[in-house]
Homo-oligomer: A and B are copies of this chain.
């Protein structure tokens, strides 16, 4: 018997990579900002949870610690993030976003939302609301499972 989510699964499998590619291309297209999607997401996390650790970033993004480490290397090398000692636990690294990082994040976020928003503007109000609520449902289902 086909599960009740089968048709939906097929759609998700087809559409999500397409939208993802758009987002990736979009992010890279902004000269001088040039954040990759994982870099962008890292900055979002670090800004929101100031003082998070490398393990924190890895967990939120669903990455292994070495992957997160290299990702942060890249951001630190561009002066967008700093690593500090954690008081109390000297194994741990405390991550903080720099002014420059915060600015890059704000610009990238604005530009990406704008260009996504422009495309989504082709939908009528009902569809738009449906998409928004569908995204919430997907977030509930997928977050933590990456």
Chain A residues within CB distance 8 Å of chain B: 3-23, 25, 37, 41, 61-62, 109, 112-114, 116-123, 125, 127-128, 130-143, 145-146
Contact = CB atoms under 8 A, between A and B. Distances in A.
A25 B62 contact: yes
A121 B112 CA distance: 31
A125 B4 contact: yes
A8 B127 CA distance: 10
A11 to B, nearest CB: 4
A54 B103 CA distance: 41
A119 B113 CA distance: 28
B25 A117 contact: no
Nearest first, the 8 closest Cβ-Cβ pairs linking A and B are A5-B120, A134-B134, A11-B135, A9-B116, A5-B117, A9-B117, A21-B146, A131-B134
